[in-house]
């Protein structure tokens, strides 16, 4: 008992310590994740604000870049797209020299299928611009031959991922379009300084990562139908299909391995009409490994501290518990065990008037009352046993008398009162049982129906009392000729019926013949009269398809009347009736 109690208390201490530690851990984790969520929202909001500032700072440079693009396109169209223009005349080296002369990075000549047929940027040779998007393809095809000149805002090359400004010019009545591109960073480096470019494209993210210890990296991507290209830093592009589904507002979180978490949000661009499916994706990468490692260390340290404190409290309480409570409880248990064994004379000495002392006093009082009642119970038991024995004898006599009366009633209910053989009701019950047995074991069943010849004349001539003696003698004559399993019943009046289990027609005929001879050879005598009697017999076999015995009784009755009509004192089977 003491070991079990100590074990339970130890488990309880461990459980409490674990629960407290886990509670502190999960509360801290919840607070930490809330802080991370706030930092994520703050970082993404700062990036959006930074992009707005970037857009305003670069607006003046864009206007200057657009002017250069217009001048270059108009001059190049005069040089290239003349009346005898043939794309084959303009190889990459010739176009590269022109791009150098006119201060552009790349020159593209595009046919009406939006395919690049000549360029000094060989990776784009043969590229079909219409595959960028269906809206872009329709827009370009509408420009051909219109004399329109359009310049896209800052875009990303689908081949290199470099920030570019693209300008398009479609001369009047021409089947070709001219396109030029500028590298934005190179243009800004030449027009301002490399420090200015670094300020626009890199410093901000360095500051963000310094002020947010858990923030590992911030990437801004420009997304088109092909990929997501880094917009402000030199980072590898990713497939647009690898991006998660982004709502127009809010942040989407994607958990990676080792507590690396990516947070994505979307910012729409103020684009020109040339591109319709592009937008900005901001991705912040948080490394939560140090924090989770710190939290796990905190969990371990807090668990150790709590267990030490609880352990000290446990040993102190155990000592006091054993001294003040446990020993007294064991004394009470020992006294109760002695009481259970029948020793009520032992009295406990209680030295304290607390709850355990009250229990000890009550146990002493209980023992005294039990001892007194035990004496009374033994006396009452002896008296009760004597009365029970007397009553048991009386009940046994009553039960035997009632059982005998019930047996007599059952016998009277199933026995003919005159002949003392079974009556018709008992025959019906016995026939159902034998039919069920015949079905189960695939056995045959036969019946014999006999009627005393000239019985009415015997009654009329000799009186009913003599007729009753005839019925009694006939019943007594039939019994010795039957087997133990056979059943003799009085069917009514002067008719008797015999049920023969597991008997075929031939055997039934032999039994009937034996009974017939026994009756015919017997003389019935009274005080004044002596008479020989005969009986006519009908034999039939029960058929398996029949539900009860009545069809067989009917056939036996027909055979019996055949015997009477053919001279009486005969045995006739139903099969012979059919043959005749």
Identify whether 398 is a catalytic site residue. Answer: no
* Distance from C-alpha of 47 to C-alpha of 53, rounded to nearest angstrom: 10
pLDDT digits (tens, 9 = 90+) for 240-273: 667 777 776 777 777 766 678 877 777 766 554 4
Q: Give which of 208, 234, 81 is closest to 144, Cα–Cα.
A: 81
Query: In Å, how far are 87, 371, 545, 572, 579 from 557, measured between CA atoms?
Result: 125, 83, 20, 10, 16
- Cβ neighbours for 333, distance < 8 A, ≥ 6 positions apart: 1
Query: In Å, how far are 25, 304, 305, 323, 389 from 309, measured between CA atoms?
Result: 18, 9, 6, 22, 70
pLDDT at 199: 63
Identify the DSSP state of 324: I
Measured torsion, CA atoms of residues 102, 103, 105, 111, in degrees rounded to the nearest 10: -20
pLDDT digits (tens, 9 = 90+) for 176-200: 898 988 877 777 777 776 666 666 6
More confident residue, 426 or 45: 426
Q: How many CB atoms lie within 10 A of CB 449?
A: 26
pLDDT at 42: 73
Domain 424-579: which topology? Answer: Alpha-Beta Plaits (3.30.70)
Q: What is the pTM of this model?
A: 0.42
pLDDT at 76: 83
pLDDT at 501: 95
- Mean of per-residue pLDDT scores for the chain: 79
Give the SS3 label for residue 1: coil
pLDDT at 348: 63
pLDDT at 526: 73
pLDDT band at 552 (very low <50, low <70, confident <90, very high): very high
pLDDT at 563: 94
* Placement of tokens 């979180």 in the chain: 253
pLDDT digits (tens, 9 = 90+) for 287-343: 777 766 777 776 678 777 877 777 787 677 676 666 666 666 766 676 677 766 667
Domain boundaries, the chain: 1-315, 342-412, 424-579
**Catalytic site residue from 322, 494, 545, 546:** 494
Most confident of 157-171, 254-268, 466-480: 466-480
pLDDT at 277: 45
Q: Give which of 567, 574, 536 is closest to 553, Cα–Cα.
A: 574
Structure tokens at 260: 């690396």
pLDDT digits (tens, 9 = 90+) for 192-230: 766 666 666 555 566 666 667 677 777 777 776 556 666
């Amino acid at each position: 008992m003491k070991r079990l109690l100590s074990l339970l208390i130890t488990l309880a201490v461990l459980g409490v310590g674990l629960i407290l530690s886990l509670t502190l851990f999960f509360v801290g984790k919840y607070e930490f994740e809330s802080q991370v969520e706030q930092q994520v929202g703050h970082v993404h909001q700062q990036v959006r604000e930074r992009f707005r500032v970037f857009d305003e700072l670069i607006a003046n440079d864009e206007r200057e870049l657009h002017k250069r693009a217009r001048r270059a396109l108009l001059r190049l169209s005069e040089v290239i797209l003349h009346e005898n223009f043939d794309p084959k005349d303009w190889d990459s080296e010739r176009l590269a020299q022109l791009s150098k002369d006119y201060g552009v990075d790349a020159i593209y000549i595009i046919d009406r299928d939006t395919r690049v047929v000549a360029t000094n940027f060989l990776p784009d040779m043969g590229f079909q611009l219409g595959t960028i998007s269906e809206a872009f393809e329709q827009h370009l095809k509408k420009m051909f031959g219109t004399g329109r000149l359009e310049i896209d805002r800052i875009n990303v090359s689908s081949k290199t991922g470099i920030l570019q400004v693209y300008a398009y010019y479609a001369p009047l009545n021409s089947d070709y379009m001219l396109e030029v591109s500028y590298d934005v960073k190179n243009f800004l480096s030449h027009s301002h300084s490399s420090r200015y470019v670094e300020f626009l494209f890199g410093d901000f993210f360095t500051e963000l990562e310094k002020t947010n210890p858990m923030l590992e990296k911030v990437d801004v991507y420009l997304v088109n139908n092909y990929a997501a290209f880094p917009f402000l830093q030199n980072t590898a592009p990713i497939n647009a299909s690898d991006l998660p589904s982004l709502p127009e507002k809010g942040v989407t979180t994607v958990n990676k391995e080792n507590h690396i978490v990516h947070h994505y949000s979307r910012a729409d661009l103020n684009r020109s009409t040339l591109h319709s499916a592009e937008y900005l994706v901001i991705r912040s990468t948080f490394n939560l490994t140090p924090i989770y490692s710190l939290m796990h260390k905190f969990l371990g340290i807090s668990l150790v501290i709590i267990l030490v404190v609880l352990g000290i409290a446990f040993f102190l309480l155990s000592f006091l518990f054993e001294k003040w409570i446990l020993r007294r409880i064991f004394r009470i248990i020992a006294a109760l065990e002695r009481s259970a064994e029948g020793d009520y004379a032992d009295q406990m000495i209680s030295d304290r008037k607390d709850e355990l002392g009250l229990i000890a006093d009550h146990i002493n009082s209980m023992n005294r009352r039990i001892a007194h009642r035990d004496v009374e119970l033994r006396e009452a038991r002896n008296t009760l046993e004597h009365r029970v024995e007397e009553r048991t004898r009386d009940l046994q006599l009553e039960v035997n008398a009632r059982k005998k009366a019930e047996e007599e009633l059952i016998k009277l209910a199933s026995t003919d009162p005159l002949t003392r053989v079974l009556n018709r009701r008992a025959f019906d019950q016995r026939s159902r049982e034998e039919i069920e047995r015949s079905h189960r074991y695939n056995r045959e069943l036969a019946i014999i129906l006999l009627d005393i010849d000239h019985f009415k004349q015997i009654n009329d001539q000799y009186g009913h009392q003599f007729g009753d003696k005839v019925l009694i003698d006939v019943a007594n004559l039939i019994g010795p000729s039957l087997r133990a399993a056979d059943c003799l019943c009085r069917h009514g009046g002067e008719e008797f019926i015999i049920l023969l289990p597991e008997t075929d027609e031939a055997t039934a005929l032999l039994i009937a013949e034996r009974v017939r001879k026994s009756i015919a050879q017997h003389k019935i005598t009274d005080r004044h009269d002596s008479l020989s009697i005969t009986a006519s017999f009908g034999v039939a076999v029960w058929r398996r398809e029949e539900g009860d015995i009545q069809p067989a009784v009917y056939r036996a009755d027909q055979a019996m009347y055949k015997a009477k009509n053919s001279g009486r004192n005969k045995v006739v089977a139903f099969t012979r009736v059919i043959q005749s």
